[in-house]
Chains A and B, each alone.
Chain A
Amino acid sequence: MPTIVVEVMPKAELLDPQGKAVAGALGRLGKTRFAGVRVGKRFEITVEGHVDDAVLAEVQELADTVLSNSVIEDVVGIHVLDAPAGETH
């Protein structure tokens, strides 16, 4: 079954307290080369049947309206996993 991946990140200009906390932990571990961390979300959506442009358009719409909130987040990527060569978006 094909899988569509949607990636969502908090808007770049917004403070990301989760990322800040992780970055703080890295600093305490002595990992000083890592200047910052931001935490986002990855959705893996399995699709019945094959993925065509209509399915991708529907996922794009869901990504914009349900999976993310455009006030606080950006959809940074949508791509298909396990797709036959040539159909990867």
Chain B
Amino acid sequence: MRIGVVTFPGSLDDRDAQRAVRLAGAEPVALWHGDHDLHGVDALVLPGGFSYGDYLRCGAIASLSPIMTEVIDAAKKGMPVLGICNGFQMLAEARLLDGGLIRNEAGRFICKDQQLRVESASTDWTSGFEQGQEITIPLKNGEGGFIASAETLERLEGEGQVVFRYLGPNPNGSLNEIAGISNARGNVVGLMPHPEHAVEPGFGPDTATAMRSGTDGLTFFTSVIERALVGA
């Protein structure tokens, strides 16, 4: 399986995402924001970072990039797309996902290992988890407060499109403690925390067993690979 990772001006975690794809057993394909070409990939990752310096609104200018025409088209046809942090902001700006992200309630940049509950194991990127499973992956952002209208929020909750919820104190003021959501079909998933930083023992979050041994993020990538194999 070939998974594309799109690099935008100001992307920071594109190479980490490529590495995560490789460790999960797929072939990472570097894609460029300025191209109109997905190079025949089977799935897409929009990585974290500060595209265009977060100018205008986080992810807003990147969501208008040339390659986004193809990304939006592919997403609507069912291609698995994962937006991490700034990538989540882009998916919201591109209206592939509902709601929006605003500055953290406390006004501070947050960087910590964050515990999450997997609320939906039926998306393309979470099928390897158990429903209700608790995982820990890094969270690092300044504008991660998820907001949506009451009506949208009710629909997301009712349709099972809330995929991840923060456990413990709400880190950024997100409504209903929402850390990540999906589209109705479950192929497009966006979340603020970073699965690609928790894929290899020695470099992940601390666990009860050993320091930096957390690899909960790997399951995002193995999920989409297994889905593709089952579908093939």
Contact = CB atoms under 8 A, between A and B. Distances in A.
A15 to B, nearest CB: 6
A71 B92 contact: yes
B56 A67 contact: yes
B64 A66 contact: yes
B200 to A, nearest CB: 35
Interface residues of A, number: 13
A69 B93 contact: yes
Given A14-B147, A15-B173, A69 B105 contact: no
Contacts of B60: 66, 69
Interface in B103-139: 103-107
A72 B100 contact: yes
Interface size class of B (residues with CB under 8 A): 20 to 34
A13 to B, nearest CB: 9
A17 B100 contact: no
Contacts of B145: 15
A17 B103 contact: yes
Contacts, number: 37
Nearest to B60: A69
Given A14-B102, A71-B148, A20 B107 contact: yes
B105 A17 contact: yes
Interface string A5-16: 000001000110
B147 A18 contact: no
B57 interface: yes
A25 B206 CA distance: 38
B107 A71 contact: no
Contact of A71 (B105, B106, B147, B173): B147
Contacts of A55: none
B148 A15 contact: no
B103 A71 contact: no
B99 interface: yes
Residue of B93, B98, B100, B148 contacting most chain A CB atoms (<10 Å): B100
A69 B148 CA distance: 12
B16 to A, nearest CB: 27
A71 B104 contact: no
A47 interface: no
Contacts of B57: 69, 72-73
Interface of A: 10, 14-15, 17-18, 20-21, 66-67, 69, 71-73
Interface of B: 56-57, 60, 64, 92-93, 98-100, 102-107, 145, 147-149, 173
Q: Top 10 closest A-B pairs, CB basis?
A: A71-B100, A17-B107, A72-B100, A17-B103, A21-B107, A72-B102, A69-B57, A69-B100, A17-B105, A15-B105
